[in-house]
Structure 1
């Protein structure tokens, strides 16, 4: 439940509040992905450190995992609105440092901070689960996740466009302006949330271990989601490098345009949420893992085909995002009074998987090229399938 001197969510249009939360999620999480189509620009700006540009997206995702571990649980203890505003202020400072980074090492450090502070979306998504009726929880989470996923995907398009015509530093500067405008809307429209826990910060962190041990369904969802996101990140963190070389010779704008193609996954998110509400999440996750594995087979055969890459992106994003919605719909019902902490456990594993995927891709790319990255994606899909299927019907299902 939420309370505030402003109108409570029950007095507002639920759809309007969900749209606002989706916007917050999308704009904030976009900062984690702006750097991916800019890798070639980083390489040109820091020629003496060119071999290490892959550390930028890896550091950002690792920072995101750390931020979720350290900051996201606070949503159970404090007003989420205040947390969102404080994190937005810190994120603006980190983006300023990235925009004026004199060396790659400074950019990597700033990217780590951007990841830590960019976890604002992890307050918005549990808030959607909190205000929605139980029978519509999957759909509500799907709407907000659509905003989050559009932010992830269209971030690459926006960054590619701005980077192509104004340089990569302008991307971070533009983000500061957008975040400041968003802060005004948050102050005007977003209600306060009512804390559901009185635990101290240390107790909140410690309780996550107990939740992990207690909730087998949460462990399964976290490992499966992390493995799938590892493959997803391996693809997106190297796509700009593939397109920059022969036979394409395309700049960051082209790499960013693939985000529009991938938006199909975000548009499918509410449908995935409804399907999870009706049929249960496990069947949706099983199908999603299969789609993800198929996408990497398509990628392996499309190192010189834009059409093949487009098809692969659509299949990959639909698969990964449908699994994400289904997993989150289930875990939010496991422990309603600890949604922020349950979400933290899941998303920390998710983005650790993303960091591993980016790091693996950065190591594989120089030696084995695009085919090597595609094989890594298939292997990550295999890990997700093994973890998901080995639990079978013995996994703890969330109450609906």
Structure 2
């Protein structure tokens, strides 16, 4: 039974399978974040300057972007069960290369492979969206997104703790073992998806990011919102350590990592936003959440003299980001299930660009204007996202997005 038939039959995704997908997504996204607190240890072990190690670990993000463009669209062409299992299994290979690396070149190769394979996170989201019934799609995406949020937040804490006990290589031994075990688990658990997709051509699905952005205003609006949304997100998570380790607080890395736990509230926000989107409230949730995102930067701006305000701002920001993220994915996939991989992969390209922009700009801004300037930068990204949403709402009446996205994505994938 193919995904379309499964969805139309009303079966959707069983709860146990959904939880497995959330766990797999959490482990896979962790591969991109394990290395962030380990740069100094990796550089010391391999004799690489910190700046050099930073670029090597960043290569995992570059590999992830490459996977979004080249691998995730394969989900519209091949059996998604096989694709997910192979990508998860490939993370075990990449993590093994990293764990045994004895040179910068080997480390680079391992991180690139790990990043490319870890793009399976979005293949999983696309599978979840395509195989869920319309009434449960938002809630299902919210559950998987909760797993992703957990992986992002806990990865740094786990990596730091394991490194203190057994060294940095132990982190990637764990990642390799998890990839091997979970690859078998998902292949055994997921139903086969052998439906015929004769009209879909791979290289055209790869180019769907250009076609969707140029031709579909619904996708374009959501993609731009996402780019600015995760620009704001990147400013916080890349800049928070600057203020906490700086003169204002002078906290050690072990304590800084615990501040990320405040972001776990985003798990609840993701679930609730998905349920609201199922009821047709996706646009309303987006507007309110973007307003909350903007307000969170007022609380965060006080973080150089009050840790309570900083924690409150983290909670507000992460809840807002996850609510908008889940709402956007639910809206752009509705009615376009067979093109879900192309749509989600294209959408996540903007996520990657936004995250990179936030991370790249916060350090120089902080260096010149301090945490106040960094907070203004985060608020600028948030205000831009809110302005795009508001302009779009005023410019045209809202109609169901799914049919338009389906036609656009199918046109991109057809000969």
Q: TM-score, normalised on structure 1? A: 0.88
Partner of 1:132: 132
1:200 and 2:201 aligned: yes
Partner of 1:347: 348
Partner of 2:114: 114
* Structure 2 segments unaligned to the other structure (5+ residues): 4-8, 404-415
Deviation at 1:134? 0.9
Partner of 1:398: 401
1:33 and 2:33 aligned: yes
C-alpha contact 1:164 1:251 (8 A) present in aligned 2: no
Deviations 1:343-372 (A, max 9, x none): 111111111111122222344344444333
Partner of 1:272: 273
Deviation at 1:329? 0.7
Q: Which moved more, 1:333-342 or 1:358-367?
A: 358-367
Q: Distance in 2 between matches of 1:379 and 1:115?
A: 29
Deviations 1:268-327 (A, max 9, x none): 211111112224211111111122222223222112543232212111110100000110
Q: Distance in 1 between matches of 2:189 and 2:275?
A: 27
Q: Say if 1:174 and 1:288 are closer, same or farther in 2 by CA, change over 3 A.
A: same
Partner of 2:323: 322
Deviation at 1:60? 3.1
How many positions carry a matched residue from both structures? 395
Partner of 2:6: none
Q: Say if 1:160 and 1:77 are closer, same or farther in 2 by CA, change over 3 A.
A: same
* Structure 1 segments unaligned to the other structure (5+ residues): 4-8
Q: Distance in 1 between matches of 2:104 and 2:245?
A: 20
Matched ranges for 1:319-398 at <5 A? 319-393=320-394, 394=396, 397-398=400-401
Partner of 1:188: 188
Q: Distance in 1 between matches of 2:241 and 2:103?
A: 21
Q: Distance in 1 between matches of 2:42 and 2:250?
A: 17
C-alpha contact 2:35 2:57 (8 A) present in aligned 1: yes
Partner of 1:209: 210
Q: Secondary structure at the match of 1:32?
A: coil
C-alpha contact 1:96 1:176 (8 A) present in aligned 2: yes
C-alpha contact 2:94 2:176 (8 A) present in aligned 1: no
Deviation at 1:95? 2.1
Partner of 1:166: 166
Q: Distance in 2 between matches of 1:371 and 1:107?
A: 37
C-alpha contact 1:40 1:241 (8 A) present in aligned 2: no
Q: Distance in 1 between matches of 2:388 and 2:236?
A: 21
Q: Distance in 1 between matches of 2:96 and 2:137?
A: 37
Q: Distance in 1 between matches of 2:234 and 2:217?
A: 26
Q: Distance in 2 between matches of 1:382 and 1:369?
A: 20
C-alpha contact 2:219 2:332 (8 A) present in aligned 1: yes
Deviation at 1:89? 3.0
Q: Which moved more, 1:140-149 or 1:87-96?
A: 87-96
1:147 and 2:150 aligned: no
Deviation at 1:247? 4.7
C-alpha contact 1:75 1:195 (8 A) present in aligned 2: no
Matched ranges for 1:54-93 at <5 A? 54-55=54-55, 58-93=58-93
Partner of 2:49: 49
Deviation at 1:172? 2.0
Deviations 1:218-266 (A, max 9, x none): 1111110111112212221233444344454444432332332211101
